[in-house]
Amino acid sequence: MYVPFDFKYHAEIQYETEFGLGFCNANGNTLDELLWDIDHRFDQYKHREPQLSLVLKNPNGQKIDITKDVLKRLKKGAS
């Protein structure tokens, strides 16, 4: 996967559409920026069952999958 920008963190978010699934993304240079952007996208698509499908650190480099860690942080923040 190549992303056309230079953010340190990149998330793919899947949501329901009238004809199937759509995707949007969230980005940030810090983990806090990424979490804020994910929350913003989830709010934007709240009526379409948004789900986090993939989160990468250094998406155009090492591509470190941090999806599980981000899901834990989001769950912890929702408590």
Q: Which token pair is 31?
A: 């983990």
pTM over 0.85: yes
Summarize pLDDT for 44-72 with one digit per residue, the tens: 999 999 999 999 999 999 999 999 999 99
Rounded Cα–Cα distance for residues 54 and 79 (Å): 22
Rounded Cα–Cα distance for residues 44 and 41 (Å): 5
Partner residues linked to 51 by β-bridges: 14
Summarize pLDDT for 7-28 with one digit per residue, the tens: 999 999 999 999 999 999 999 9
- Token pair 């408590």 is found at 79
